[in-house]
Every structure is written in structure tokens, then in C-alpha cells.
Structure 1
Amino acid sequence: MVDYQSISIVAATEAAMPEIVELFLKQQTRQHVQNPSLRKERSRTDIEMALRVYQNEEAIMALDREGRVRSYAQPSVWELNATSILFSFLSARNGIVQNLILPDPADKDAAIVSAALLTALDSFWRKSGTSGDLIRWPSSDNCKWWDEVLDEQRFQLDSMCAFRPLQPFFVSQLTIPSLDIRAAKQDDEEALVALFQEELHFHERYTPFVRRSDQGVNAFRRALGRAWKNEELEEGAPLVLVAERAGRIVAMVESTLLTISSYDQPGFTPPGRYCCLDNMCVHQDFRGQGIGRLLLQTLEEVITSFHFDLEGYMLWFNPANPSATQFWPRVGFQPLWTTYQRLHGKDS
């Protein structure tokens, strides 16, 4: 048992489940009021089922001096597949937490309770030999003390998952003379890889968590390979569009279909199917000319033609990147949840 001032961190018990569920109910109500785009509020029964999906002997809770449950977490470890494209964004072995429940931000001791919980999570992850750790939390449920608690544990702002409803991107159609938007073909692969690497390089100046890696490039090539084999989007193949000027590929957008289930973590995204914008890059010499807007306009036309039953569009962007923070909200994307990351050892 770890004591943090007036708070004790102990193993979660079955007897405490009703209190834990009640905390979850209050938390989801508060967060949904802050941002109605988050997943709809769940019933007490659904919450208990969701908690039990990830329940394990490592689950912990914070108790105050009166023995009341104040917070809860299910720590675990996420090890990347050796061929994952996420090696360009995450460490190989990541500490994560499922079903994180924190005190109401208005509680006087909310910072103390949260700091105690994160200290216990840190201990678990270090014993598990993680090379980096992640905290995911609704972007709208934020306050100064939460930022300070994360900062004390060396967590930094990493990315935001943003959502856009399924509606037209633009009221009027955009055209750019001498620019063609078309489906990518196999002969484009080297140009696409170069754009992918340029995108990573561009982000390296804003965050320590994006890096060029052989695993990431190879994974991107494998994804393209599925498109070259004419695999269907519903089978997991990407849809890749390119912008071409005078025979030169100057931009690309790559998207896939992403299905979110009722039990997918961190549990903030409404269940359903989405068009996920995995990569969009405009060559640095051609930015600021509306090419990104035209790519999105064409992507929307293509996706609409498939008549998929979609909830909307999703993407992850780096909030430290000024271009991204200006562009994506302007075209209708609003943050759902934020990822904070930290690295250990040689990765830090």
C-alpha cells in the first residue's frame, strides 16, 4: 500500500465496485456536458460490464481517510507489434491505463488524489519495464492542477484525437488550376514515402514523440501494398489520393475505415465506423495554396460514393504544431481526447 499524504492507494476490491461505478457515472455525466460529441452516457449496468472487461489483479483505487473511493485505474502494458507504423509515434513497450476515473476537478483534494494515483501507476509501469507511458483524457475536461500533476510525472502533450460529423467539408467547391487530384497508383510509391517522411520530419521540431523510423516507413509501404493489390477498404486497405502538378506529386492523403467498439479504450469515442485520416502531407514548397482543402473535398466525394454507414471522420493531430491547430478546427474537426506521453531511458 502506498500512502500519499491523506490518500491511500490499494488494490481494487469487488466490494468497492458499486462506489467505483458511481464515480464513473458522475465522471461521464460531467464530461458529456462539457463535450456532447463524446460517447453517449452509459447505464450503470453497461459501465460495470465495461469495467469487468479489463478488470485484473492490478486494478487500483484511491481511498481517503474516511475509506471512500476517490479514484480508480486499471494499469496494463501495450507492446507494439514489431511491424507497427506506430513505432514512428510511440515507444516499443507502453504503459497505459484502462478506465481511468479521477475525482471531480472541483474537489479541494482532487490534485492530491490524482497525484497519488499517478504515482502508483508509475510504480506499476516501472516494475513492468515499460519504455514509455501514456495517459489519455477528454480534451474538454482539463484544468491547471491536472496539467501540473502530469508535469510532475514528466508527461508531455502528445496528440489530440479529433472528430468531425459526416457533413460536407465546404459549402462551395474549390478548384485549383493545373492541379489534378487522383487515386494513387503503384508508380507513386516512392513519392508517397518521401511525403510520409517529410511529414514526420516536419513534426519532429514540435514534439519529442514523432520520429522517423525504419519500422514506420516499412509499415507505410505495407499499407500501400494492400492498395496496389486492389484490396477493399472494408478489408483494411487504405484509400490514398494524391495531388499532382505538372507530373509531380505534391501532396497526399491516406485514410482507412476505423471501427470503434463499445469496449474500445480509452472509451471516449462514440462506437461506430469512421473514416480515419491517417496521413495528410503537402510538400513544403506548395503549402498555403489550398491543396489540403482540395484533397479533403475530393476525399469526401469518394467516401460518399461508397455509401458506407459512417459516424463521421477522425484523425490525430499534434496540438504543438501551429499549422495543424489552425487548419483542422477550421475544417470542422474538434478534439475529443488528448494523449500525454513520456519516455524512459534511451528513448527519452
Structure 2
Amino acid sequence: MTVGRGLMEAQSTRFGALDPLLPPAAEPPDGDVITAALTDGSRVAGVLSRHLHEPGALARLWSADEVWELTPLIGGSGLAGMDAVLRAWRRRLDRLGEPGPDSSCVVTWPSRDAEGTRALLDHGLVPLSTIAVRRAAPPANSVPTTLTIREAAPRDLDVVVDLAMAELAYSALVGATVQRPEAADLKRAALRERLQAGGLVWLAERDGIAVALAECALSESTPGSWIASRLPLGRWGYVNCVSVLPGARGAGVGQQLMAHVHRELHRRGAIGSYLYYNPPNPLSSVFWIRQGYRPLWTVWEVRPAGALR
């Protein structure tokens, strides 16, 4: 659906002023267009998409079943524009009827936009997830390791699943992750496929016992791809899951593992790496900053969707 080119251009200009790593504003997805008028007579818009995750979908481990996602098109209007489009969204939900209990409203927006942050907070959304990036090349002097770090193989499936489930259980307490009854089965199926395909999965072992996991991938940001709406063009390392057993935390295990992972991703041609972490998580919100990551986008969410103000 065509939207005002002026809004897109002004939004791209604003993004560039906020953060040099932000790509230009991408064309919005298909969906319902909502509009709102500002006091100066100009208009802003947003595209509203509804996603339903059926039972058995892996996305249900980090998402509500019913997701209402807004792509704001507010140009350079800042707080006033974001406030206006969020009010219009609330009115649209009122007309559609109350969403179910397993539902959410989601907006992904540049982390450095303080004016947008104010409006999102005022409307009841919370920063549950952050897309963070790291551009620095691995240091020439590697972190001294007391661990054995190796690529995981299909025979390691059980220990990989155990480590991934430990991370999921903790994240469900402090972020967007949802502890579903079928979580272990979904994780096992996904990780079995990754291991059999030779995916980038590393284990850190101490005295022959696996104490940490890093599950990663390589992503290509090419023109028109989804990732190009979030990151500059090029090959990026994606850090999907890092898990350190509770008894091994605080001893530098995660730092040693990620130093190895960053070297391996760089060796495979990555210009940087990115990941999602939960700002309310007292461990990851500190750890990832220390590893050289910084917020680029924030995923704002309110559950259930009817709680949007």
C-alpha cells in the first residue's frame, strides 16, 4: 500500500540524525492504514498488522498468540506525531472489540528517539526487547580462556537443549519470553535441525562438562530484505541464544565464549553482530553492553493488547 512519500523521507532524515547506524525508513508492510491530524494541520500515519501464531509455532515462545503490530509513519514530528498515531491506534482497537488475553500491541522504534520513548511510555508500552549491535572487530589480544570451546554436533542435542531451556526459563521471568507447555519440544525440534544442518552452535566446557551455549547464525542484509530495515547492508552475525549455567555465572564464562564467537563470526566475513536482549533482565542488560553491544532498536510491547492506553 502506498503511503505519503514525504513522511517516509522526513522519517529517514530523522532516523539519520538520531543514529548513524539506522538504515533509511523502510516501506511499511501491508496492513490497515490509520491516520491522525496534528495541531499544525499536518498528518501522520501508521500501518497496523495483525499476526496470529497457531499452536506449535516457534514464535509463541517469545510472542503472544495474537499480535497487533504498528509501523509508525510520523516523519519528523517527534513526540506529537507518535502520540497522535498511538491515540488513533487505541481508537481503532476500541472499534474492533477487546482482544483476547493472549495478545499484545508491539512497536519497534529507534532506541535513541527520546521523544518517541516518552509517547510510547505514556500509552502503556514497555521496552521488553532491544535489538543491539556490535561493530568493533575482535581485539588482537584474545581473552585468556580457562575453557574448552568447540562447535556442537548432533550428538550434543540433549545438552544443547538443556542449556537453551535454562535460558528460556530465566528470560520468561524478566522479558518477552513465554514459558509454553510445548517449549521443550519446540526447542528440541528447532535445535535438532540446526545441529544437523551444521549451524553455528558453540559449547563451552569445563572439565568435560558443558557449562555454556552460544547459538548463532549469519544474516545477509541486502536491499529489500527484512534485515535491511533494521541494519546497514552487509553480512551480520546473529547471536540468537547465549546460556550459562547458573552455577558457572560470574566467572567470565560468557565473556570467554563470546570472545571466541566474535572471532569466528568475523572470520566468516561478518561486519558486525546483533542480538535481542531484554532491558528488564538484570544479567543480559549489563553483560551485552560490556561485550561492546549497544541499543539500536527497541521493541515496545503491552500485553494484553487491550491494555494500550
Query: TM tier, shorter chain?
Result: 0.7 to 0.9
Where 2:114 maps in the other structure, the secondary structure is coil
Alpha-carbon spacing, 1:164–1:322, altered in 2? closer, same or farther (3 Å): same
Check whether the contact 2:130–2:297 (CA below 8 A) recurs between aligned residues: yes
Choose 59-68 or 246-255, whichever is displaced more: 59-68
Displacement after TM superposition at 1:339 (Å): 0.6
The question of 1:212 aligning with 2:179 is answered yes
AA aligned to 2:304 is: H
What pairs up with 1:282-301 in 2 under 5 angstroms? 282-301=244-263
* Deviations 1:149-179 (CA, angstroms, capped at 9, x unpaired): 43454322210001112611x34212233x2
Check whether the contact 1:77–1:128 (CA below 8 A) recurs between aligned residues: no
The question of 1:330 aligning with 2:297 is answered no
Displacement after TM superposition at 1:27 (Å): 2.1
The question of 1:173 aligning with 2:142 is answered yes
Distance, in Å, in 2 between the alignment partners of 1:311 and 1:204 is 31
Larger Rg: 1
User: What is residue 90 of structure 1 aligned with on the other side?
Assistant: 63
User: What is residue 239 of structure 2 aligned with on the other side?
Assistant: 277
Where 1:174 maps in the other structure, the secondary structure is coil
Aligned residue among 77, 80, 98 for 1:104:
77
Distance, in Å, in 1 between the alignment partners of 2:181 and 2:259 is 32
Structure 1 residue ranges (4+ consecutive) displaced by more than 6 angstroms after TM superposition: 127-130
Displacement after TM superposition at 1:125 (Å): 6.5
The question of 1:187 aligning with 2:161 is answered no
Alpha-carbon spacing, 1:83–1:112, altered in 2? closer, same or farther (3 Å): closer
Check whether the contact 1:59–1:73 (CA below 8 A) recurs between aligned residues: yes
Aligned residue among 76, 97, 122 for 2:49:
76
* Deviations 1:80-117 (CA, angstroms, capped at 9, x unpaired): 364433222111121112354365236xx446524423
Displacement after TM superposition at 1:55 (Å): 4.7
AA aligned to 2:180 is: S
Displacement after TM superposition at 1:228 (Å): 3.7
CA-atom RMSD in angstroms: 3.1
Distance, in Å, in 1 between the alignment partners of 2:225 and 2:55 is 25
User: What is residue 8 of structure 1 aligned with on the other side?
Assistant: none
User: What is residue 320 of structure 1 aligned with on the other side?
Assistant: 280
Check whether the contact 2:67–2:104 (CA below 8 A) recurs between aligned residues: yes
What pairs up with 1:194-233 in 2 under 5 angstroms? 194-207=162-175, 209-229=176-196, 231-232=197-198
The question of 1:21 aligning with 2:5 is answered yes
Where 1:59 maps in the other structure, the secondary structure is strand
Where 1:190 maps in the other structure, the secondary structure is helix
Q: Which runs of 5+ in 1 are unaligned?
A: 1-11, 233-237
User: What is residue 162 of structure 1 aligned with on the other side?
Assistant: 132
* Deviations 1:224-259 (CA, angstroms, capped at 9, x unpaired): 222442x25xxxxx3111111122111010002233
AA aligned to 1:274 is: W
* Deviations 1:193-248 (CA, angstroms, capped at 9, x unpaired): 222222122223323x323224443332223222442x25xxxxx31111111221
AA aligned to 2:283 is: S
Alpha-carbon spacing, 1:153–1:250, altered in 2? closer, same or farther (3 Å): same
Amino-acid identity (%): 22
Larger RCO: Structure 1 or Structure 2 (Cα < 8 Å, ≥ 6 residues apart)?
2
Distance, in Å, in 2 between the alignment partners of 1:288 and 1:125 is 49
Check whether the contact 1:272–1:311 (CA below 8 A) recurs between aligned residues: yes
Alignment TM-score, normalising by the size of structure 2: 0.85
AA aligned to 1:221 is: R
